[in-house]
Amino acid sequence: MMFIHLKIKKLISAYIDSEVTREEKNLVETHLAACSRCRKYYQKLQKVSATIQEWENEDVSSDLELKIRQKLLSQNVKGGTMKKTKLFVGLTSGALATLLVFILAGQVYMHRTQPQSQPRTASEKAEQQNTQRGPVTQQPPPAQSLELGKDAMTIIREEAQVNFLNSFGFVGKLQSVGDNIGDQYSPGAYRLEEEVMPFKSYGAGTLAEEGEEFNTEGYNRVRENDFLEVKENPLSTLSTDVDTASYSNVRRFINEGRLPPPDAVRIEEMINYFDYNYPGPVDGTPFSITTEISYCPWNASHRLVLVGLQGERIETQKLPPSNLVFLVDVSGSMDEARKLPLVQSALKLLVKQLRPQDRVAIVVYAGAAGLVLDSTPGDHKETILAALEQLRAGGSTAGGAGIKLAYAIAERNFIKTGNNRVILATDGDFNVGASSDAEMERLIEKEKEKGIFLTVAGFGTGNYKDSKMEILADKGNGNYAYIDNILEARKVFVKQIGATILTIAKDVKIQIEFNPQKVKAYRLIGYENRILSKEDFNNDKKDAGELGAGHSVTALYEIVPADSTEEFATIDPLRYQDVTVKPSTDIMTIKFRYKEPNATESKLLVKELKETGATEKEASENLQFASAVAEFGLILRNSPHKGTASYEGLLRRARLATGNDHDGYRAEFIRIVDTARIFDEEAKN
């Protein structure tokens, strides 16, 4: 795991001393809430600071100071020289010298007498073998380093020094008593195999080259939708998308101190992460339809159209009985704090919501698949929780075998009038068995025809395979969430349990016909992997997205008015076609098709939208906030269509549109944007 917390650690000490700006304060508090590692650092540093303040101010003799200098400079250097670093607390010279002597004495003792600890796990053993694979060589100075005021190797060594000090219960980095102390200091017993990705190396839409070999996360390429002329492309057809994984994954990147890669940013998933104030459905339909047209914040000459769906909200106690199978990845790649342990905590939250009429089985897969717990009634919570608690990670990843077994168990316990679902918890790193995307798609598409749907919950970093998990959820009539912390687990498995496990409408499609008298061109924002051909709209055999209980889905179109002088790619006029336009005041006609969960034939809904001339002040809270999220996505992707998009503009609208933010998700969005803005500015300076 790469060390990516240096910037926050530098700010933490100033935060303790109340010497940070408001933006830095928000940055630190946001990061501490999400990062247990830096939270422990903060707590230890608080203790060190308090202890040091109690020390008496003693003068250091010049003789003692000279001995300290000579001792530090005489240390053998392993893995390269250690640059000067700093303990970010206010120290008197006497207190600092006392601390130096104590640490130096302990370091010499540890270096000479303490043997290396034996690895306790397979992963630790492998790591030790890698570390012992050859002599540690002196690193040459970087020729063109990506800077944070220091080169990448300096940051690596500073982290090594922090780890060394942690072994004594001290946290912080040493600043020499004089300018020349510590230039050659290294603990000597530590070697880091992992690169540091410097904080400043992350600009908008870019990633540092440093350390990329240690990050094998996989994302499908996103080719942004372009503007299409209405005369040649009057229809836009898409499948709905209730996935939210992209937003929580983007949040994870930013909380870790870096901007996400562009292909990790799927704007529709960011927008759909949030609830909107759409009215509930009436007349027996499973969802309501909301439409709105207003100004476009990042292009004053364009307009923005919102199409919103709100699924019927169903109380947990009124949900139909559930037949659930937890399919848990326990391969070696899951042996990290934010993987299997977080999976266990997340699924425990779901178990506590179960009723006697619900049932749960647990299947695991690593080198092979296995049944840990056969289908068990939901009121036997102690049995289910105990089975989750005993899970351990290790081995390769036979994902295909695990999925087959999970579906077999779900089919064996099928509830005809209930909700039958496999919940897959994984980092997506399939490498044994049926692991190709095509094989996974065929397997899951076959099983969904039996009425067994799929929810995919992604966990972890580093080797996270977003691309595979997105495909699995799409093909399994399910939804996909990324869980970066226990609060997100609560959102997915407690607050939105109905949306997560119960489908109220399937194969939901949208088709919009634009009026060329009103619209010259249009662009669908996001949904790049949800585009359908126009013929697919009426084809009931064509798979599309699902809508869960309480789910809301929002789509945004950026449209160019018919009187615009903008030029777009066109074809030559057709010789044999004579198209006449019927006069209308409508901007567009929007059609929806959907099926009931167990139906094979779709139903049709139609709605027209007229121009309202709404200005920024007249735009609804829904459009204000959705457009702010979209604008953030355009900036993160460094989109060619971002126009005049800015952090300032989107933050202003987001702050005006927090609404009834009971769970704090919109307030968190504002903090995330504020943090990303700081990172972006750092990268550009």
Give bridge partners of residue 328 from the DSSP assignment: 364, 425
Higher pLDDT, 380 or 335: 380
Residues 150 and 265 placed together within one structural domain of the fold: no
Lowest mean pLDDT among 111-115, 304-308, 558-562: 111-115
Same domain, 26 and 73: yes
Q: Cite the DSSP H helix spans in 189-309.
A: 245-255, 267-271
499 domain-assigned: no
Q: Are residues 393 and 411 in the same domain?
A: yes
- At residue 577, the pLDDT reads 80
108: in domain: yes
Residues 168 and 253 in one domain: no
pLDDT-derived band at 51, boundaries 50, 70, 90: low
Q: Are residues 562 and 525 in the same domain?
A: yes
Residues 466 and 430 in one domain: yes
Give 367: exposed, middle or buried? Use CB within 10 Å, 0-12, 13-18, 19+. middle
Alpha carbon distance, N-terminus to C-terminus of the chain = 27
> Residue 395: pLDDT band by 50, 70, 90 thresholds?
low
The residue to which tokens 């599309």 are assigned: 544
Amino acid at 470: E
Of all residues in the chain, the percent with pLDDT exceeding 70 is 72
Q: For residue 189, what pLDDT band results from cuts at 50, 70 and 90?
A: very low
- Say if residue 49's pLDDT is above 90: no
The whole-angstrom separation of Cα 226 and Cα 209 is 29
Mean pLDDT of 247-267: 95
Q: Are 346 and 425 in a shared domain? A: yes
| Cα dihedral: 102, 104, 108, 109 (round 10) | 10
Same domain assignment for residues 288 and 364 = no
How many domains does the chain contain in total? 3
Residue 533: inside a domain: yes
For residues 200-215, one letter each, b for 16 or more C-beta atoms within 10 angstroms of the residue's C-beta and e for the rest, the string is: bbbbbbebbebbeeeb
Task: Select from 560, 588, 616 the last residue of a domain.
Answer: 616
Residue 245: pLDDT band (50, 70, 90) is very high
Q: Please indicate, yes or no, whether residues 424 and 339 belong to a single structural domain of this protein.
A: yes
Domain boundary among 471, 494, 517: 494
Are 451 and 309 within one domain? no
Q: Cα–Cα distance between 204 and 566 in angstroms, integer?
A: 28
Q: What is the pTM of this model?
A: 0.70
Residue whose C-alpha is closest to residue 195's, from 207, 183, 213: 213
336 lies in the same domain as 480: yes
- C-alpha 181/C-alpha 160 separation (Å) is 18
- Asked whether residue 30 is domain-assigned, the answer is yes
- Of these ranges, 137-141, 265-269, 473-477, the one predicted with the greatest mean pLDDT is 265-269
Q: How many CA atoms lie within 13 A of 89 on its CB side?
A: 22
Q: How confident is the model at residue 169 (pLDDT cuts 50, 70, 90)?
A: very low
Q: How many CB atoms lie within 10 A of CB 494?
A: 15
Distance CA 254, CA 270 (A): 14
Is 369 within the bounds of a domain? yes
Q: State the pLDDT confidence band at 396, using cuts at 50, 70 and 90.
A: low
Cα angle vertex 362, ends 359, 364, to 5°? 165
Q: Are residues 183 and 49 in the same domain?
A: yes
Does residue 118 sit within a domain?
A: no
Query: Does a structural domain hold residue 581?
Result: yes
Compute the mean pLDDT over every residue in the chain, rounded to the nearest whole number.
79
Query: What confidence tens digit (pLDDT) does each residue in 437-452 have?
Result: 677 778 788 888 889 9
94-139 pLDDT, tens per residue? Answer: 444 445 544 444 444 344 344 444 444 444 444 444 444 444 444 4
Rounded to an integer, what is the distance from CA 346 to the centroid of its chain? 16
Q: What is the DSSP letter of 575?
A: S
Domain end: 494, 519, 547, which one? 494
For residues 23 and 140, the model is more confident at 23
Q: Looking at the predicted structure, is the pLDDT value of residue 287 above 80?
A: yes
What pLDDT is attached to residue 437? 62
Count of residues making up the chain: 685
Asked whether the beta carbons of 330 and 354 are under 8 A apart, the reply is: no
CATH assignment of the domain containing 341: 3.40.50.410
Q: Structural domain of residue 177, as residue ranges?
A: 6-112+139-201
Residue 117 lies in a domain: no
Give the integer Cα–Cα distance in Å for 320 and 343.
25
